[in-house]
Amino acid sequence: MSMDLFSNSHIAGSVPPQMVNSEHELIIDAFAGGGGASTGIELALGRSPDIAINHCDKALAMHAQNHPQTLHLCESVWDVHLQSYTNGRPVGLLWASPDCRHFSNARGAAPVSKSVRMLAWSVVHFCQKLGSKRPRVIMLENVPEFKGWEDFEAWQGALRQLGYRVEHRILRACDYGAPTIRRRLFVIARRDRKAIIWPAPTHGDPQSEAVRTGALKPWRTEAECIDWSIPCPSIFERKRPLAENTLKRIAAGIQKFVIDNSAPFILNMSHGGRLKPLNKPFSTIKTEKGGCRALVMPCIDRTFGNSRGADIAAPLGTVTTKGIGNSALVAVFLAQHNFNVSGRAADAPLSTITSRATQQNIVTSHLVKLWGTCKHGQKVDAPMPSVSAGSSHVGEVRAFLTAYYGTSLGQPVDEPMGTVTTKDRFGLVTVNIGGEPYVISDIGMRMLSAAELYRAQGFPEDYRIEFDYNGKPFPKTEQTAKCGNSVCPPWAQALVAANLPELRVDAAERRAA
């Protein structure tokens, strides 16, 4: 591995340039990954970690793009000779996020090596090697199941024998400003006789009293993370059919979050992409540029009179929220493809992102309003004409939903529709919006992009995930993997700011470095 990938590479006995101010204690990120914890530390203290350790060169390549002043050590935590790099300097903070594959529920039944289970012991190993210069504060992050590790109590006991006071709590990222419900166990150990501080949540359930009174901000949502301009190809035009369980989840999600929802969440495209709940009749809506999880985005096209939006006489094909017509809405939810659930509402935080990130798929479904001179004609209490894929995908959607909810839903799609009401079982293909019914005409799906995943994890908008790596673009598979394995930066920011404010540097010091 060529170490010239990193701005400050592994040079035995070297001291990185930013360590010139010997008044500051060192900060070490022992399992640095793509830089989530380090980014939170920088947001809290105005400085990146002095040393980042990881055995994966790709992880450190991303870390170096965003933390160029850090000394990057591409080594195993067991092999690195940390004393050579600390050079006798005291360590103020050691952050550790050891591999959680052995403990996570997402890992499945595959066995994990003992070496992975034992990684947390490297924290004790570092403390022993550094002696009197061992970290003043240690913060460890892992999945909640880490508490069930057979060595958890012994591991805490070893830290206490080294003079540390140890506490642990389970925190949710959404409570600290990240748009994800990700839950993690945090352990804080300190030996300076100061109190361990657990920062109070800054965000909460929008329906809670604390949010209504302004004591907390509302949780950030999945919808904030979506790039609405990215198209979603129709699920009916795929070269390879979707898996059976995926189709079932899409159908279940459409029923739960759009058809049966008294106030489905919609994107009002006429107001700069701002989101607005569907809890009252709409004024005229115009389209603008905005699109594990799948986003189901029913685009509601008000096709009445001569002011139709999209041309419903032809198949919709690739569905995008850009250029649909002049009066479109987008109702939104996210389906989830790694568990037997129908998904989540878009006005809630995203569920936990895994390192594979293959569960994140955006699904869009267009709806056509039944009205007057609408191509599919008549009023809503009249029979609907025969609908086929040749005149949009209404028929395919109807057949799709019927297939997944049984024959009790009504007659075949090539027969006249009965009276269409939201109380009828035809509710599987109609949605009532402001007292007016719409028919689903197409469904599209796409994976969430890497940029959307990083937003959901709480990374800053300017975080670099695309860059040159060994003469080639950094692979998207690596971008998503590093996101799923990362610490949500708002967590690290809150914990470090609360417990180590004395390590913060001012602007003049940053310029000098």
432 and 348 belong to one structural domain? yes
Q: Is the dihedral of CA 299, 302, 308, 312 positive or negative?
A: positive
At residue 507 the predicted structure's pLDDT band, cuts being 50, 70 and 90, is low
Domain boundary among 416, 448, 480: 448
322 and 202 belong to one structural domain? no
pLDDT top residue among 394 and 217? 217
391 and 370 belong to one structural domain? yes
| 455 inside domain | no
236 and 206 belong to one structural domain? no
Q: Tell me what the mean pLDDT of segment 185-196 comes to.
A: 98
Which of 351-355, 389-393, 484-488 has the weakest average pLDDT?
389-393
74 and 161 belong to one structural domain? yes
Query: What is the pTM (predicted TM-score) of this model?
Result: 0.79
291 and 201 belong to one structural domain? no
pLDDT top residue among 205 and 312? 205
Structural domain containing residue 431: 228-448
At residue 314 the predicted structure's pLDDT band, cuts being 50, 70 and 90, is very low
CA pair distance 22, 10, nearest whole angstrom: 21
Residues 6+ apart with CB under 8 A from 185: 141, 142, 143, 144, 146, 147, 168, 169, 170
Amino acid at 66: N
| 464 inside domain | no
SS3 category, 278: coil
Q: ∠78-82-84 over CA atoms, to 5°? A: 135
393 and 482 belong to one structural domain? no
* CATH for 210: 3.40.50.150
Task: Tell me: pLDDT of 335 over 50.
Answer: yes
196 and 252 belong to one structural domain? no
pLDDT, one tens digit per residue, over 42-95 is 999 999 999 999 999 999 999 999 999 999 999 999 999 999 999 999 999 999
Task: Tell me: pLDDT of 301 over 60.
Answer: no
Tokens standing for residue 168: 């642990």
Average pLDDT taken over every residue of the chain: 74
Q: Which residue has the tokens 């673009």?
A: 473
Instruction: Quickly list DSSP for 210-235.
Output: HHHTTSSEEPP-GGGG--TTS-B-BG
Which of 130-139, 209-218, 432-441 has the weakest average pLDDT?
432-441
Domain boundary among 432, 448, 464: 448
Task: Tell me: pLDDT of 191 over 90.
Answer: yes
Could you tell me how many residues make up the chain?
Answer: 513
Q: ∠47-49-54 over CA atoms, to 5°? A: 150
| 265 inside domain | yes
Instruction: Quickly list DSSP for 93-142.
Output: EEEE----TTT-GGGTT----HHHHTTTHHHHHHHHHHGGGS-SEEEEEE
212 and 250 belong to one structural domain? no
Strand 203-204, strand 430-433: pairing: unpaired
| 305 inside domain | yes
At residue 431 the predicted structure's pLDDT band, cuts being 50, 70 and 90, is confident
Q: Tell me what the mean pLDDT of segment 202-207 comes to.
A: 95
| 7 inside domain | no
166 and 298 belong to one structural domain? no
127 and 234 belong to one structural domain? no
Task: Tell me: pLDDT of 339 over 90.
Answer: no
| 458 inside domain | no
Q: Which residue has the tokens 């940053």?
A: 510
| 432 inside domain | yes
Q: Tell me what the mean pLDDT of segment 394-416 comes to.
A: 60
Task: Tell me: pLDDT of 396 over 50.
Answer: yes
201 and 244 belong to one structural domain? no
**pLDDT at residue number 292:** 41
Total count of domains within the chain: 2
**pLDDT at residue number 369:** 66
Residues 6+ apart with CB under 8 A from 365: 254, 258, 296, 297, 298, 299, 397, 440, 442, 443, 444
Task: Tell me: pLDDT of 143 over 70.
Answer: yes
pLDDT cut 90: percent of the chain above it: 43
Q: ∠263-268-272 over CA atoms, to 5°? A: 150
Strand 472-473, strand 344-345: pairing: unpaired
**pLDDT at residue number 13:** 36
| 466 inside domain | no
